Structure 1
Amino acid sequence: MTPIPFQQELTVAFQHLDEWNHVNNLEYIKWVLDISEAHWTTKTPAETREKHAWFVLNHNVHYKRQAFLGEELILTTWIETYSKVKSERRVLITRKTDGKTVVEAKTSWCFIDRATKKPSLITTAIIRPYIEFESV
Structure 2
Amino acid sequence: MAVFEQHITVLPAHCDGLGHVNNVQYLHWAEDVAWAHSAELGLGLVRYQQLDCAMVAREHVLTYLAACFAADVLSVQTWLSHNDGLRLRRQYRFVRVSDGKEVFRGHTDWVCVQLSTGRPKRMPAEFQAAYAVQETVS
For Structure 1 versus Structure 2, the TM-score category normalised by the shorter chain is: 0.7 to 0.9
Give 1:42 deviation, angstroms.
Answer: 2.3
Q: Alpha carbons of 1:133 and 1:76: their partners in 2 closer, same or farther (altered >3 Å)?
A: closer
C-alpha distance in structure 2 between counterparts of 1:45 and 1:76, whole Å: 18
Give 1:133 deviation, angstroms.
Answer: 5.9
C-alpha distance in structure 1 between counterparts of 2:121 and 2:53, whole Å: 8
Give the paired residue count.
Answer: 132
2:83 is equivalent to residue 82 of structure 1: yes
Q: TM-score of the superposition, structure 2-length normalised?
A: 0.85
C-alpha distance in structure 2 between counterparts of 1:87 and 1:45, whole Å: 14
Question: Any gaps of 5 or more consecutive residues in structure 2?
Answer: none
Kindly provide the amino acid, as one letter, of the partner of residue 99 in structure 2: D
Q: TM-score of the superposition, structure 1-length normalised?
A: 0.87
Across the aligned residues of Structure 1 and Structure 2, the Cα RMSD in angstroms comes to 2.0
1:24 aligned residue (22, 25, 44):
22
Q: Alpha carbons of 1:133 and 1:123: their partners in 2 closer, same or farther (altered >3 Å)?
A: farther
Question: Any gaps of 5 or more consecutive residues in structure 1?
Answer: none
Q: Which runs of 4 or more aligned residues in structure 1 lie more than 6 Å from their structure 2 counterparts after TM superposition? A: none
Percentage identity across paired residues of the two chains: 26
